[in-house]
Structure 1
Amino acid sequence: MKKNILTLTATVALALSASAQKVGFEEYNLKNGMHVILHQDNSAPVVTIGVMYHVGSKDEVDGKTGMAHFYEHLLFTGTENIKRGEWNKIEAANGGTGNANTNWDRTYYYETFPSNNLELGLWMESERLMHPIIDQKAVDTQNEVVKEEKRQRMDNAPYGKIIYGDVYNHIFDKHNYGRPMIGYIKDLDAAKLEEFKAFYNKWYMPNNAVLVVAGDIDVKNTKKLIKEYFEPIPARTLPKREQVVEPERTQEKRVKEYDANIQIPAIILAHKTPSMKERDSKVLDVISTILSNGKSSRLYKKLVDDKKKAFQVISFARNLEDYSVYVIAALPSGDTPLDDLIKEMDEEIYKLQTELISDRDLQKVRNKFENNFVASNSNVEGIANTLARNYMLVGNTNQINKELDVINSITKEEIREVAKKYLAKNRRVVIEYLPKKK
C-alpha cells in the first residue's frame, strides 16, 4: 500500500509541474530609467497594467509616518485631466477594475481592462505619475478614509495587530519595519500639505518604478504606446537609502500586547529572519508549511486534533526586502496555559532542529508549493504582480521561473540547519497577546 501511495504522490507532482509552465516576458528600460516588463498571453482578451514604486513605510521618517500608505489612496483622487472622483467611474465604464496596495517596501497600483482598452490604462497610469491632484481637499478627504480603514482593519479587528504588523515593534529595535505599515494617525493629522507634496516628489518618479503590462497584447504596439505615454516623464535624482542593520538578538525577549477586540488570548513566537532575496527565506517558508499549514501540519495535528490544547494554530512568513518576519501563533482551548502551548510548540520546533523530515513529508510540502504557484500565477493580474515584485525586491525578474526549482532543491538537511539557526530560543520574541477591556 505504501508503494501505491508514493507512486500517486509522484504522479501528482508530475502533473503539477506540467501545469507550472514557464512564464515568458521581455524587459527593458526607457530613457528616463523606468523599467518595463511585458508578458504576452493572448489566451483571453484582458490586459493588466501595473506600476510598482520602490517606496513603502520603511522609507518614512520619524514624525511623518503613514505617507506611503496614504498615497495608495490619494492617487485615486484624480489628476489634472481626470476629474476628482472620476477615476473609478472611468474604469467601470470601460469594463475595467483597479486597485492598489502598500507594504513596508513598495507601493503597487494596477488596473485590468479588456485588451482593447490597453491605451486607456497606460494613459491613466501615466496621469497618476505626471499630473496627480495633491491639494488640501484631497488630503482631508483621504485622511478620513485612512482613519476608517485603520479602525476596521486594526483597531476594531480581532488580532489585527498581528496581521498588520503592529507587533513588529517588539521584533525590530532599529529598523523601520518595527513601525506599523499604516503609520501613526497623529503624524498624518499633523502633516502639512507641503510635506505630502515633498514625499511625492521624493519618491514618485519613473526611475523609481517598474511598469508591467501582462495579457493580450501586441508587443510592438505596446512598446510604442509605452514610449508615448511614459518616456516624456522626466527622471529625478533618487535619495540615497540608509541601510539600517538590525542587531541579532542574543536573549529571548518576552512582552505583553493587549487587544480590546479579543476574548481568547494568543501566544506568539516571533522571529527576525533573512531577506526575501536569500535562500534561507525559502527554507523558512517550507518550515512554516511543515509546522502549521493546514490540518495535516504538525502543530495543528498535535495541539488541535490530538491534545485539544488549542483551537487554532497559525504560522506565516512575511518576506520583505531587508529582513523578513516569521510568526508562529496558537490560541488556547479552554483553560490551557499559554506556557503549556509554548512547551508543546518548542517540542515540534526541536524535532525540526534535530531530526530529518521524511521523504513523504518533503514531497507533500513540494506539492503544496506547486499548487500555490499555479494558483497565484493563474491569471495575468497575478503574473504582473509577481514579475514586478521579483524585479524590484528580489533583483531578478526571472525568479518567477526559478521559484519551484529553488523549493524542489531544498534538502532535509537544510531544513534542519535553518530551523536550528533562525528558530533558536535566544533569537525570538515571545508575545503574550491578551484581551483588554474596551
Structure 2
Amino acid sequence: MKIKSKWFVLMLFALLISSCAEEKEEQQKETAQFKVPVEYYKLDNGLKVILSKDTTSPTAIVAVYYNIGFRIEPKDRTGFAHLFEHMMFQGSQNLGKMEFIKLIQQNGGVLNGSTRFDFTNYFEIVPSHKLETMLWAEADRMRGLDITQENLTNQQGVVKNEVKVNVLNQPYGGFPWLDMPQYANTNWYNAHNFYGDLEDLDAANLEDVQSFFKTYYAPNNAAISVVGDFDIDEAKTWINKYFSNIPSAEIPEQPDISEPKQVEQKEFVKNDSLANKPAIALAYHMPERNTEEYYAMGLLDQILVQGDNSLLAQKLEKDKGYSSDVGGGINYLGNMFNYKGPMIWMYDFTYDNETSREEILSAIDEVMTNLKENITQKTVDQALVKLRSQLYDDIGGTFGLGRADLLCSFALFDDNPERINTLEDEFKKITPDIVKKTIDEYLINTNRTILTVNPLLADNEKTQSK
C-alpha cells in the first residue's frame, strides 16, 4: 500500500505540474494575442458606433469620420473637401465661431481634423469626465453648421494661404505626396490636385457648401468611435440622446474610382525653383485591399524601405552613400489600413548634385532585380516583427487615437471594425511564395512611375558662382 500511495502522489504531482504549465502557456498566448475590445452597433438613422474601453489613462477620445474624402470631391472644385473641413470649425447651431475649439481647450483637451483620400475626420482627446460634453458638441455640428458667406470667404483665404505656404512657396512643396498621385494615376478622381487649385477654391460658393453638407455630413454617412476610460452603458445613453434624432440623408452613388492597369513605365520631371538638390520618388500601384498580395506588399514595404536595415536604405545610404533620407510607405496621408480606393506604394529621397539620376536608378534596379533572392521565411518573419511593432505603436499611440482611426475606417469601409483584431493573423498567412508572386505581379517596371525633381536653385547657384 505504501508503494501504491507513493505512486499516486507522484502521479498527482505530475498532473499538477502539467496543469500549471498548460495554464501558463494559455496565459502567454492570451498576452501575445492582445485584442482590442470592440462593441459595434448602428443607430436607426444609420450612424455607425464603435466603443472601445481602455483604462490605461483617465482620458477619452471621440472620433467622427465622414465617408467623404478629396478623392470624390466635385469636379471643378478641387480642394473642396479640404475647404469644407475648415468650415466645420466655424460654428454650429449652439456654438458660435471658434467656440467649438474653445470648448475643448478650456476643458483640458486637444482636437484636430483632416481630409484624406476616402474620409474626413474630426477628433477630440479630453479628460474622461468631459466625454458627454464632446458628444454633444460633435452632434451639434453634425445637426447643422453655421454656413455664412463671411465664414466661407474667410476660410477660402485660410486654405489658399495654406496651399501657398505648404506647396507653392516651399522647396519640394507637394513632393511627392501631392504630386505623385497626379502622375501615377489616370482616373481624375485619383489623379487631381486634392489640395486645390487657387481658381477652384475661389469658385466655391455658398450653395456648394450647403449642398455638400446636406449630402455627405449625414449620420448614415458617418462613423463615431469612443476610445478610453468610460462607462459603456453611459456612453450608449449619451450617443442615443444626442445623435439618434439627427435625420439621415440620401447618399448619392459613388463615382467609379477604379484605376486601369498600368502597362508601361512612366517618367516625369518637376522643375523646382526653390530646391537646391535633386530628389526622386518611385511609385507602384498597390494590389486590391484585403487580398493576400495586399498583405504581402505590407511586408515588402518593411523589407524594402522601413528602418535602417531595409534593403533600399542599406544600398542607397550605407553602401553607395547617395542619400541619407530614404523613406516611404503605403498611403503617404495615413497608413496601409485607412483608405478604400486605389493606392500606390512609394518611396522617395534627395541626393547630391554630383550623383546622376542614372546612378540612382542603377542602384535601385540592383536591389529590385535581386529582391526575390532575399525572400526567405526568415526575411518574412523579420518583416512581420517590424510590422507588428509598428501596428501596435499605431494602435496605442496618442492615447489610443490610432485605435480610434482604425475602428472608424474599418466601420466605414468594411462595416467591420472587428478587423482590427485580425490584421496580425492575415499577415501571418503570407508565405515567401506569396511574397515572390507579389513581386512578379506588382514590383515590376511596367507598374512603376518615376518622378524626379530638377533643382533650379542649384542650377542658379552654379551659374552665380561662375
TM-score (norm 2): 0.86
User: Structure 1: how far apart are the matches of 2:275 and 2:29?
Assistant: 40
Structure 1: state its 5+ residue gaps: 1-13
User: Structure 2: how far apart are the matches of 1:374 and 1:432?
Assistant: 34
User: What is the aligned residue count?
Assistant: 424
Q: Which moved more, 1:388-397 or 1:398-407?
A: 388-397
Q: Which residue of structure 2 aligns with residue 9 of structure 1?
A: none
CA deviations on 1:321-340 (whole Å, 9 max, x unpaired) are 12111113343235111122
CA deviations on 1:250-272 (whole Å, 9 max, x unpaired) are 11121111223321112222222
Query: Aligned-pair distance for 1:175?
Result: 4.1
Q: Which residue of structure 2 aligns with residue 8 of structure 1?
A: none
Q: Which residue of structure 1 aligns with residue 454 of structure 2?
A: 434
* Structure 2 CA distance for partners of 1:40 and 1:271, relative to 1, 3 Å: same
Cα RMSD between the aligned structures? 2.1
Q: Which residue of structure 2 aligns with residue 68 of structure 1?
A: 81
Query: Aligned-pair distance for 1:401?
Result: 0.7
Q: Which residue of structure 2 aligns with residue 363 of structure 1?
A: 381
User: Structure 1: how far apart are the matches of 2:436 and 2:235?
Assistant: 48
- Of 93, 105, 114 in structure 2, the residue corresponding to residue 101 of structure 1 is 114
How many percent identity over aligned positions?
29
* Structure 2 CA distance for partners of 1:174 and 1:260, relative to 1, 3 Å: same
Q: Which residue of structure 2 aligns with residue 241 of structure 1?
A: 254
Query: Aligned-pair distance for 1:144?
Result: 1.9
Query: Aligned-pair distance for 1:429?
Result: 1.4
User: Structure 2: how far apart are the matches of 1:332 and 1:216?
Assistant: 47
- Of 181, 198, 211 in structure 2, the residue corresponding to residue 168 of structure 1 is 181
Residue aligned with 2:281, SS: strand
Letter paired with 2:395: N
8 Å CA contact retained: 2:176, 2:348? no
Equivalent runs, 1:168-247 vs 2, <5 Å: 168-247=181-260
User: Structure 2: how far apart are the matches of 1:158 and 1:286?
Assistant: 32
CA deviations on 1:221-241 (whole Å, 9 max, x unpaired) are 111111110010001111011
Query: Aligned-pair distance for 1:55?
Result: 0.1
Equivalent runs, 1:26-175 vs 2, <5 Å: 26-175=39-188
Residue aligned with 2:324, SS: strand
Query: Aligned-pair distance for 1:411?
Result: 1.4
CA deviations on 1:379-428 (whole Å, 9 max, x unpaired) are 33221111111221344311211111122222111111111111111122
- Of 427, 443, 446 in structure 2, the residue corresponding to residue 423 of structure 1 is 443
Q: Which residue of structure 2 aligns with residue 386 of structure 1?
A: 406
User: Structure 2: how far apart are the matches of 1:17 and 1:59?
Assistant: 42
User: Structure 1: how far apart are the matches of 2:121 and 2:346?
Assistant: 25
Structure 2: state its 5+ residue gaps: 1-26, 461-466
TM-score (norm 1): 0.91
Query: Aligned-pair distance for 1:189?
Result: 0.4
* Structure 2 CA distance for partners of 1:89 and 1:377, relative to 1, 3 Å: same
8 Å CA contact retained: 1:267, 1:331? yes
User: Structure 1: how far apart are the matches of 2:425 and 2:292?
Assistant: 12
Q: Which residue of structure 2 aligns with residue 343 of structure 1?
A: 362
* Structure 2 CA distance for partners of 1:98 and 1:425, relative to 1, 3 Å: same
Which aligned runs of 4 or more in structure 1 are off by greater than 6 angstroms? 14-17
8 Å CA contact retained: 2:323, 2:352? yes
Letter paired with 1:338: R
Query: Aligned-pair distance for 1:369?
Result: 1.3
